Amino acid sequence: MAERVTLRALEAELSAENYPLTREAVLDEYGDVVLDLPGGEEALADALARVGADDFPDHAAVVASINTGIGGDGVGRRDYTDRGGNADSRKHESF
């Protein structure tokens, strides 16, 4: 049975690993993980299959590859900001 986790929880688990890691090592340990994302769910193995990296020198590299593989589903609401307005609607001021 697949283990369902959030992306944040997986990132925390991956931070405890000893790097460098290969794609094979990541999949051996986490291949049954299904990511619970705002846009649905995604198997970690499927996400990593979409990227070309076979080696991960550090935590940041494996997280970046996962984020690339899951694409927009991991973002939640696209173009959403809780900071009021959007960048294009703000008046530019010169100081």
Q: Is residue 90 part of a domain?
A: no
Q: Is residue 92 part of a domain?
A: no
On the question of pLDDT at 46 being above 60, the answer is yes
For range 77-84, the mean pLDDT: 58
Question: Which structural domain, as residue segments, surrounds residue 68?
Answer: 3-73
Q: Is residue 48 part of a domain?
A: yes
Q: Is residue 17 part of a domain?
A: yes
Q: What is the tally of structural domains in the chain?
A: 1
Give pLDDT, residue 90: 59
Q: Which range among 28-32, 67-71, 76-80 shows the weakest confidence by mean pLDDT?
A: 76-80
Q: Is residue 65 part of a domain?
A: yes
Q: Is residue 95 part of a domain?
A: no
Q: Is residue 32 part of a domain?
A: yes
On the question of pLDDT at 14 being above 80, the answer is yes
- CB atoms inside a 10 Å sphere around CB 20: 12
Give pLDDT, residue 60: 98
**Nearest CA to 80 among 33, 23, 38, 31?**
38
For range 14-37, the mean pLDDT: 97
